């Protein structure tokens, strides 16, 4: 598959995806859960961004919000998700569209899903339909957005789509793709399934790929292969990737830019080197400290983050992390919410240790 | 998979044989025989029959033979395709059953179609529009539908039609068509009359099927492959029908095999209440009057249908779900 | 990335020490519809225990001249005070059909009291009593809350007695089914081997039988001269004999799965006898499921008994069940004259609905995986 250059415009400074103050809430019988509570970040074309955080920090919900597939009773309540669409019929200039304003089931959003923003879901076993072949499902994606492959002229035929699928499977490193295309997902091993999932996600040449914890379902050796595959594909097609995970090691290997989330807010963000070697936020520091290393004195206690994740209906006031923070400033942190402010050249953190209270918005 | 099917087919005649013994034993169980019941009926209506005449009849019908001899005679006849003679109607059983079989099948088919055409879309709607007004209404109707015995529904409808509209809705034909030969007009008349029994017969099944469809679909809608399909950009309607509905239908389609025998036996009571020329009422009379060859033959037919129905169900399930098909 | 845990709150503590049954009860409590249905069932079973207390008349008392008397609606208030009454019935002979035609006259009231003395009966067949919940006041006065049938028998009282029979059959038949099912299914699943094979074949055999025709055949085979009580027991056994197979299969499946569990192995290693392992270790894990399934199976039995009796093949007169009562409603002309004869059918619907709702509530409450 010849690499299609995605960022054709000269203005590479405008980010591909720009999330501004996104808020997503779930309206349950028991109360309202603010799963995402004011998240902002940018993704540039061709960049690999990692979103890292504990379970329940809102990273998956953020991803679903971008794709407008947040399930009932959840809803985007505020914020903007600005996305630069590819130029094409019906899309004049490069004016970014606010995805949060589009109707989740409307034609505009459906045209973007799969074709411009694609998802690699969490469990490839469960994410493929068990009663349709892998090939059928990839062909379906291709036919749905056929115009990506053939912008004008006669419509794409199924036979051609099938040939494209076989090529895609070969590109992701699946041997004997002509046979594998007719297999069912449960007939493939875990690693092959994951690759097939990646092939399906890439099938319509998206500008942005969202990978939702793609490594949880496979073992360590396969993980390394999948990561290198993703790096290779990203390099070849200049696709931007948003990589969601709780595994700091994976982030270190693949991300260029890191976003650290906690309880629905961004704690810190910056280039991967800065985050790992010079973390500014107490939460980031605690996370990095708690990774067991080989250089620890024997029988020393493993460092932990004290306290536990608060119940989603019982959010702390002020800074969400303050009950568990070891350098908390008592009155300030409990009463005011810090905002994301720059703490370095390309690094930002939301912590009153690094900026004055008056800077809060 | 094929081995399993072949196994079941091979067992079929053996199973039928076992059933035939059981069936015959049950039919013969009540004390006395057809002639004692016949004599009693005659006596209660005033006429009588002499003892010699009774004995002669008994010898003629072979009712004086021990039970196992009668059974063997029945088996021998069956193996030649002869279903025996009805003692009450004095006609070949095959004829009696044959003329009612067609109508029984037609009724069952109409009911079946009604059930599926109503229940599946209702179940899909209920699952995808949870907590909507229509969902609550449908759920309430389902609960009541399952709780109402079908003959009760028949009684209520018949009463309403009679008491408030003065029309009787029994029978499958209007009076002018009852004994007429088949024609398009007769077929249309049948259509006009059959929809009511078909609906009555199908109500409970429809209610049950809707609930099951709704539950199955709700289970499937939460699964990851639905989210993946949505993330690909499929429209909501298309993705619901293509993926979760397809999977939710699998276990249901496999029950189709039992449906037809169940409708056959279920129509029994409704047919009695609504006076339909069905196999059911025929069986009832035969059992009560100890018309043993007729009763035995009908029961055996029911057994055969049930076994075949179960087999068809299993085959359908395997055929639809590649996971089962390929695991052999 | 490890996190420490804070001390559990008081509410969480209470939950963690509550027994399984308490948890099930708490979850069940939240289903208001199921609770209401449970209340309905309790009322119905109260009637089962002592139908005569709830009757207003002797159900067998026939009086042909009072056939098809209409429903005398119960009013609780008479001009401002709490004084229950029913309208008196006035009869007029139709000159053409020569049949008595009854209408109720609200102008003339017949007083009705609670806890009145009426015809005598025996509680549970032993203790003599003559107290009734409701009854007409004044000797010779009548209050037919649900009219009378063609023999002049009070329908309300007959309905109470019918409730006793129908609800009991349902319960007993299902209990028998459960006993068969758990026993045979358990042996099949736990012991395995030849018993397992035989029982499995037996289950397949029974499930291949067409249920309704076989029931008909079996009940038709019951001798006509048996006493109603014997017929009653025979019917319950027949209903149970064919109905245990589904539960048997499920139980077998569970036992097969549980047999491999570590806690069973631990019990075996500790020296528990087989019976003890089955009884104290394995069965409790799915007891709640069995209870839920049982509750959901009773409605089917009730409908089956009603259908059979309706056809004349089940419970036979003079015994009374809902199905027997509905036999009077078979004739359309009769129904048009006396539509209240359909009320037993309503009782069927209500009881089945109640059982289904309670069963659903129990199943949701008992299923540990639905949360």
Domains plus CATH for chain A?
A: 13-116+206-306 (3.40.50.300), 130-205 (no CATH)
Which of B231, B247, B326 has its CB closest to that of A69?
B231
Residue C186 confidence (pLDDT) above 50: yes
Chain A positions touching C2 (Cβ under 8 A) are: 290, 302, 304-305
- Higher pLDDT residue, A200 or C232? A200
pLDDT at B178: 66
* pLDDT number for residue A62: 92
Supply the DSSP symbol for B64.
T
C6 CA to chain B: closest CA distance, Å? 32
User: Residue C4: pLDDT band by 50, 70, 90 thresholds?
Assistant: very low
**Percentage with pLDDT > 90 across chain B:** 4
Does residue A119 register a pLDDT over 50? yes
The CA distance from A348 to B6, in Å, is: 71
Lowest mean pLDDT among A28-32, A84-88, B136-140, C347-351: A84-88
User: Does any CB of chain C come closer than 8 Å to the CB of residue B273?
Assistant: yes
Which of B30, B261, B268 is facing C220, going by the closest CB pair?
Answer: B30
pLDDT of the residue at A12: 54
Is the pLDDT at A284 greater than 60, yes or no? yes
| B97 vs C: CB within 8 A | no
How would residue C56 be classed by pLDDT, with cut points 50, 70 and 90?
confident
Of B31, B147, B295, the CB nearest to C223: B31
Structure tokens at A170: 């070969």
Higher pLDDT, B324 or C104: C104
Q: What is the mean pLDDT of residues A298-322?
A: 79
Write down the pLDDT at residue B120. Answer: 92
Instruction: With a cut of 50, say whether residue C76 has pLDDT above it.
Output: yes
User: Best mutation site among B131, B225, B328 for testing chain A: the one with the most A CBs within 10 Å?
Assistant: B225
Do A279 and A268 touch, CB atoms closer than 8 A?
yes
Q: Which residues in chain B touch residue A110, judged by CB atoms under 8 angstroms apart? A: 233-235
pLDDT over 70 (residue B263): yes
How close does chain B come to C282, measured CA to CA in Å?
Answer: 28
What phi, psi does A340 have (nearest 5°)?
-75, 115
The model's confidence at residue A269, banded by pLDDT at 50, 70 and 90, is: very high
Residue A290 with chain C: CB contacts under 8 Å: 1-2
Residues of A in contact with B227 (CB under 8 A): 69, 121, 127
Please indicate whether, in this complex, the C-beta atoms of C3 and A309 are within 8 angstroms of each other: yes
C221 Cα distance to chain centroid: 25
Which position has the higher pLDDT, C138 or A267? A267
Determine the pLDDT at residue C18: 57
Mean pLDDT of C36-55: 86
Do residues B158 and C332 make contact, with C-beta atoms less than 8 angstroms apart? yes
Q: How far is C248 from chain B (nearest CA, A)?
A: 18
* DSSP classification of residue A33: E
Instruction: Choose the weakest-confidence range: A179-183, B142-146, B323-327.
Output: B323-327
In percent, the amount of chain B with pLDDT more than 70 equals: 91
Q: Is the model more confident about C55 or about A64? A: A64
Q: Alpha-carbon distance A64 to A60, whole Å?
A: 6
CA terminus-to-terminus distance, chain C: 27
A69 and B321: CB-CB below 8 Å?
A: no
The answer on pLDDT for C15 being more than 60 is no
Q: Is A348 in a helix, a strand, or coil?
A: strand
Residue C2 pLDDT > 50? no
Average pLDDT, chain B: 80
- Does the beta carbon of C1 lie under 8 angstroms from any beta carbon of chain A? yes
How close, in Å, is residue A91 to chain B by CA atoms?
Answer: 17
Q: Please give, rounded to a whole number of angstroms, the shortest distance from the CA of C153 to a CA of chain B.
A: 22
In the structure, what pLDDT confidence band is assigned to residue A90 with cuts at 50, 70 and 90? low
Q: What is the pLDDT of residue C368?
A: 56
Instruction: Give residue ranges of A with CB < 8 Å to any B CB.
Output: 67, 69, 105, 110-115, 118-119, 121-123, 126-132, 140-141, 144-145, 184, 186-187, 200
Task: Give residue C369's region: left, alpha or beta (phi > 0; psi -120 to 50).
Answer: alpha
Asked whether residue A2 carries a pLDDT value surpassing 70, the answer given is: no
The sheet with strand A208-212 has its strands ordered as A117-120, A208-212, A240-245, A48-52, A257-262, A265-271, A348-349, A341-342
Query: What pLDDT band is residue C219 in, cutting at 50, 70 and 90?
Result: confident
Q: Give the model's pLDDT for residue A50.
A: 92
Say whether pLDDT at C128 is over 90. Answer: no
Angle at A31 between CA A29 and CA A33, to 5 degrees: 120
Subunits with at least 3 CB pairs below 8 A relative to chain A?
Answer: B, C
Taking CA–CA distances from B148, the nearest residue in chain C reads C349
For the stretch A162-173, pLDDT in tens is: 998 999 899 888
Residues B189-218: pLDDT tens digits? Answer: 777 777 788 888 888 888 888 988 988 888
* Nearest alpha-carbon partner for C143 in C171, C167, C114: C114
Candidate from A54, A290, A308 with C-beta closest to C5: A308
Identify all chain A residues contacting C5, using CB atoms and an 8 Å cutoff.
Answer: 308
Compute and round to an integer the Cα radius of gyration of chain A. Answer: 21
Whole-number Å distance between alpha carbons of B81 and B92: 12
Other Cβ atoms less than 10 A from the Cβ of C41: the count is 19
Q: Please report the pLDDT score of residue C106 as a whole number.
A: 72
The residue with greater pLDDT, A26 or A31, is A26
Q: Which of A66, A130, A168 to mutate to test the interface with B (most CBs of B within 10 A)?
A: A130
> Which residue from C minimizes the CA distance to A285?
C1
Residue C12 predicted with pLDDT over 50 = yes
The answer to whether residue A308 neighbours chain C at the CB level (below 8 Å) is yes
CA B59 vs. chain centroid, Å, equals 36
Over residues C136-159, mean pLDDT = 78
* Res. A11: pLDDT tops 50: no
Task: Give the tens place of pLDDT for each residue, B57-112.
Answer: 777 777 777 777 778 877 887 777 777 777 777 778 788 888 788 788 888 888 88
C-beta of residue C89 within 8 angstroms of C-beta of residue C70? yes
* Beta-ladder partners of C74: none
Query: Picking from A114-123, A267-276, B263-272, C77-86, which range would have the lowest pLDDT averaged per residue?
Result: C77-86
B213: contact with C, CB 8 A cutoff: no
Instruction: Please report, to the nearest 10 degrees, the dihedral formed by the alpha carbons of residues A65, A66, A69, A70 taken in order.
Output: 0
pLDDT interval class at A25 (50, 70, 90): very high
pTM: 0.80
Taking the CA of residue C19 as centre, how many other CA atoms within 13 Å lie in the half-sphere pointing to its CB? 5
Tokens of C226: 């048996």
The pLDDT, as a whole number, for residue C133 is: 79
- Average pLDDT for residues A208-224, to the nearest whole number? 79
* Listed range (A147-156, A251-260, B126-135) with the worst mean pLDDT: A147-156
pLDDT tier for residue B325 given thresholds of 50, 70 and 90: low
Q: What is the pLDDT of residues A334-358, one digit of tens each?
A: 888 888 888 888 888 888 888 776 6
- Concatenating the DSSP letter of every residue in A183-219 gives SBGGGS-HHHHHHHHHHHHHTT--SEEEEESTTTTS-
**Both tokens assigned to A314:** 């019982």
pLDDT at site B169: 67
Predicted confidence at residue A9, as pLDDT, reads 43
Residues with Cβ within 8 Å of residue C296, at least 6 apart in sequence = C355, C356, C359, C360, C363
Q: Check the CA dihedral B239-B241-B246-B252 and report its sign.
A: positive
Chain B 225-264, residues with CB within 8 Å of chain C CB atoms: 261, 264
Out of A40-49, A295-304, C46-55, C269-278, the most confident range is A40-49
Q: Is residue C130 very low, low, confident or very high in pLDDT (cuts 50, 70, 90)?
A: confident
The predicted pLDDT at position C3 comes to 37
Stretch C193-222: mean pLDDT: 79
- Indicate the range of A291-300, B134-143, B167-176 predicted with least confidence: B167-176
Instruction: Assign C8 a pLDDT band (cuts: 50, 70, 90).
Output: very low
**Nearby residues of C35 by Cβ (< 8 Å), 6 or more positions away:** C28, C29, C361
Per CB-CB distance under 8 Å, the chain C contacts of A54 are 1, 3
C6 at interface of A, judged by CB pairs closer than 8 A: yes
Residues of C whose CB is below 8 A from A306: 3-4
Mean of pLDDT values over A127-143? 89
- The model's confidence at residue C215, banded by pLDDT at 50, 70 and 90, is confident
Chosen from C205, C217, C231 to mutate, greatest number of chain B CBs within 10 A: C217
The rounded mean pLDDT for chain A is 83
Chain C residues closer than 8 Å to A308 by CB = 3-6
| pLDDT the model gives residue C7 | 47
Contact C312, B119 (CB under 8 A): no
Question: Could you report the per-residue pLDDT of B113-151, keeping only the tens digit for each?
Answer: 899 999 999 999 998 888 888 888 998 888 888 888 888
- Return mean pLDDT, chain C: 78
pLDDT on residue C201: 79
**pLDDT at res. B117:** 93
pLDDT > 90: percent of chain C: 2
Place of tokens 């994740």: A309
Contact list, A123 vs chain B (CB under 8 Å): 224
The predicted structure's pLDDT at residue C351: 92
Given CB atoms, is C12 within the 8 Å cutoff of chain A?
no
Interchain pair A129, B229: CB under 8 A: yes
Which position has the higher pLDDT, C122 or C141? C122
> With contacts defined as CB-CB under 8 Å, which chain C residues touch A246?
1
């Amino acid at each position: 598959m010849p690499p299609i250059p995605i960022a054709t415009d000269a203005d590479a400074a405008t980010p591909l995806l720009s999330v501004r103050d996104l808020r997503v809430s779930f309206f349950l019988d028991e109360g309202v859960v603010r799963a995402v509570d004011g998240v902002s970040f940018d993704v540039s074309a061709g960049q690999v961004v990692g979103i890292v955080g504990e379970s329940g920090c809102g990273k998956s919900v953020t991803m679903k919000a971008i794709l407008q597939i947040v399930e009932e009773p959840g809803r985007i309540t505020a914020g903007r998700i600005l996305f630069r669409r590819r130029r094409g019929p019906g899309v004049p200039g490069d004016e970014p569209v606010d995805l949060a304003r589009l109707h989740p089931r409307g034609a505009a959003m459906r045209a973007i899903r799969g074709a411009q923003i694609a998802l690699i879901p969490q469990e490839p076993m469960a994410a493929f339909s068990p009663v349709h072949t892998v090939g059928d499902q990839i062909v379906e994606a291709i036919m749905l957005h056929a115009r990506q492959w053939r912008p004008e002229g006669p419509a794409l035929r199924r036979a051609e789509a099938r040939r494209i699928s076989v090529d895609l499977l070969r590109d992701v490193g699946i041997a004997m793709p002509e046979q594998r295309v007719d297999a069912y997902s449960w007939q493939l091993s875990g690693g092959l399934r994951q690759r097939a999932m990646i092939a399906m996600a890439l099938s319509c040449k998206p500008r942005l790929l969202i990978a939702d914890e793609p490594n949880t379902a496979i073992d360590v050796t396969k993980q390394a292969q999948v990561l290198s595959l993703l790096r290779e594909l990203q390099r070849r097609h200049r696709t931007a990737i948003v990589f969601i995970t709780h595994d700091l090691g994976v982030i270190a290997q693949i991300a260029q830019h890191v976003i650290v989330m906690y309880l629905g807010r961004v704690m810190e963000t910056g280039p991967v080197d800065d985050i790992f070697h010079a973390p500014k936020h107490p939460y980031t520091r605690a996370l990095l400290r708690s990774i067991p290393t080989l250089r620890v004195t024997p029988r020393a206690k493993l460092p932990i983050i004290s306290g536990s994740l608060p119940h989603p209906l019982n959010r702390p006031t002020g800074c969400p992390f303050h009950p568990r923070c070891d350098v908390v400033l008592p009155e300030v942190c409990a009463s005011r919410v810090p905002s994301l402010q720059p703490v370095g050249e390309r690094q930002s953190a939301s912590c009153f240790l690094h900026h004055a209270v008056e800077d809060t918005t | 998979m094929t081995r399993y099917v072949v196994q079941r087919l091979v067992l079929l005649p053996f199973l039928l044989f076992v059933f035939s013994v059981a069936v015959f034993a049950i039919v013969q169980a009540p004390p006395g025989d057809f002639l004692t019941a016949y004599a009693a009926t005659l006596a209660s209506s005033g006429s009588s029959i002499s003892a010699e005449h009774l004995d002669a009849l008994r010898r003629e019908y072979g009712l004086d033979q021990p039970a196992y001899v009668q059974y063997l005679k029945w088996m021998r006849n069956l193996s030649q395709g002869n279903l025996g003679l009805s003692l009450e109607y004095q006609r070949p059983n095959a004829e009696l059953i044959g003329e009612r079989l067609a109508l029984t099948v037609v009724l069952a088919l109409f009911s079946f179609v009604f059930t599926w055409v109503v229940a599946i879309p209702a179940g899909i709607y209920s699952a995808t529009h949870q907590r909507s007004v229509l969902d609550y209404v449908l759920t309430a109707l389902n609960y009541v539908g399952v709780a109402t015995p079908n003959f009760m529904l028949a009684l209520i409808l018949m009463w309403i039609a009679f008491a408030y509209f003065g029309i009787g809705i029994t029978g499958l034909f209007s009076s002018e068509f009852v004994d007429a030969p088949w024609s398009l007009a007769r077929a249309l008349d049948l259509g006009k009359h059959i929809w009511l029994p078909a609906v009555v017969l199908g109500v409970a099944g429809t209610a049950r099927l809707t609930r099951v469809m709704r539950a199955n679909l709700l289970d499937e809608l939460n699964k990851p492959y639905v989210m993946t399909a949505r993330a690909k950009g499929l429209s909501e309607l298309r993705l619901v029908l293509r993926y979760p509905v397809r999977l939710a239908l699998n276990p249901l389609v496999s029950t189709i095999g039992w449906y037809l025998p169940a409708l056959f036996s279920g129509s029994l009571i409704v047919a009695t209440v609504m006076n339909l020329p069905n196999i059911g009422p025929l069986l009832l009379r035969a059992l009560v009057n100890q018309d043993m060859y007729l009763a035995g033959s009908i029961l055996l037919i029911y057994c055969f249908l049930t076994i075949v129905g179960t087999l068809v169900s299993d085959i359908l399930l395997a055929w639809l779900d590649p996971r089962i098909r390929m695991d052999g | 990335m490890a996190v420490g845990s804070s001390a559990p709150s008081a509410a969480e503590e209470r939950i963690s020490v509550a027994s399984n049954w308490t948890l099930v009860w708490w979850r069940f409590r939240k289903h208001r519809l199921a609770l209401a249905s449970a209340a309905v069932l309790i009322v119905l079973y109260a009637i089962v225990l002592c139908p005569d207390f709830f009757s207003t008349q002797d159900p067998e008392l026939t009086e042909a001249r009072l056939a098809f008397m209409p429903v005398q609606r119960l009013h609780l208030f008479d001009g401002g005070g709490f004084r229950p009454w029913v309208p008196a019935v006035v009869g007029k002979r139709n000159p053409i059909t020569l049949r008595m035609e009854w209408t109720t006259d609200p102008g003339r009231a017949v007083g009705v009291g609670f806890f009145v003395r009426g015809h005598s009966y025996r509680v549970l067949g032993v203790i003599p009593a003559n107290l009734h919940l409701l009854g007409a006041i004044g000797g010779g006065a009548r209050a037919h809350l649900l009219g009378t049938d063609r023999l002049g028998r009070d329908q309300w009282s007959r309905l109470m007695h019918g409730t006793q029979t129908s609800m009991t059959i349902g319960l007993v038949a299902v209990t028998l089914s459960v006993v068969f099912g758990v026993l045979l299914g358990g042996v099949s699943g736990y012991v395995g081997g030849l018993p397992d094979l035989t029982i499995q074949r037996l289950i397949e055999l029974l499930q291949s039988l067409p249920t309704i025709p076989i029931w008909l055949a079996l009940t038709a085979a019951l001798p006509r001269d048996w006493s109603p009580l014997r017929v009653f027991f025979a019917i319950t056994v027949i209903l149970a004999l064919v109905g245990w197979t589904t539960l048997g299969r499920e139980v077998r499946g569970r036992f097969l799965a549980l047999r491999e569990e570590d806690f069973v192995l631990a019990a075996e290693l500790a020296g528990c006898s087989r019976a003890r392992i089955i009884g104290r270790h394995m069965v409790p894990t799915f007891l709640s499921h069995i209870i839920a399934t049982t509750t959901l199976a009773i409605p089917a039995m009730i409908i089956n008994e009603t259908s059979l009796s309706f056809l004349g093949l089940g419970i036979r007169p003079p015994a009374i069940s809902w199905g027997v009562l509905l036999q009077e409603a078979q004739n359309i002309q009769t129904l048009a004259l006396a539509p209240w004869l359909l009320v037993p059918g309503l009782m069927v619907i209500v009881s089945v609905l109640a059982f289904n709702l309670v069963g659903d509530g129990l199943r949701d409450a008992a299923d540990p995986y639905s949360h």
